[in-house]
Amino acid sequence: MLHPCTPPKFKILVANLAHGSDPSLNSGGNPVKLRTGFVLQQVITVDGNVRTGGPVQQPPPVSAVNYTAAIQVLSPTYWDPTVAPPGPFYYQEEVRVFDQYPLAGVDFGLGLGSGTGPVAAVATSLAAWINASVDGVLATSVGDIVYLTSLRSDAFLPVQATNDMSVLLAGGKVFSVKDSAGNVLNPATRERANLFVPKVVKTQSPPVILP
């Protein structure tokens, strides 16, 4: 993946006064400065566009408190071909993080599906795969939940988790996608929806005002 370019921060000067001066009042008529300038920084995106805003900022380390999106492993009943023999038209559940689509029972959770478990081990496996395979995304697992934070300049973190085969096999829902407030984003009506979760900490802060 190409990375955005972030040239050094720079200052611009502005003449922003509360009111004009009045020399007849001597020093009491001096203008009052509201601000003298701003600290800005540019971000050159991977497609060559230049975006000017405040200084670039990094989100805090991903944790159960600081994260953008979360994937909860509700059950280990996804079909795992290493545990259960393949049946007719069987396929794996998949997760999406940006442009990567790992398969349950193939890329992560290998040997833990088809009811084997435990769910915490599946979550640990998924977090490890994301850290190793998805550039610009950090993941950590706590119990059965995988917490995700994006370091990319994109405004959103695309996430998806399917439950099609698990429901068909009467195993119940396996994956639940949540936002940073804990809201479930993939209810039964949106099982295969691509979810674009807004980043909690934006890539750039507002311009810094110079007094």
Q: Residues 151-180: pLDDT tens digits?
A: 988 889 999 999 887 667 666 789 999 999
Helix (H, G, I), strand (E, B) or coil at 189: helix
44 CB neighbour count, 10 Å cutoff = 15
CA distances to 58, 68, 72, 178 from 61, in Å: 9, 11, 19, 18
Query: 79-97 pLDDT, tens per residue?
Result: 898 898 876 667 789 999 9
H or E stretch covering 124: helix 119-133
State how far the Cα of 189 lies from the Cα of 177, in Å rounded to an integer: 13
Q: In the chain, how long is the greatest CA-to-CA distance?
A: 94
- Which of these ranges, 13-17, 23-27, 104-108, 194-198, has the smallest mean pLDDT? 23-27
105 CB neighbour count, 10 Å cutoff = 23
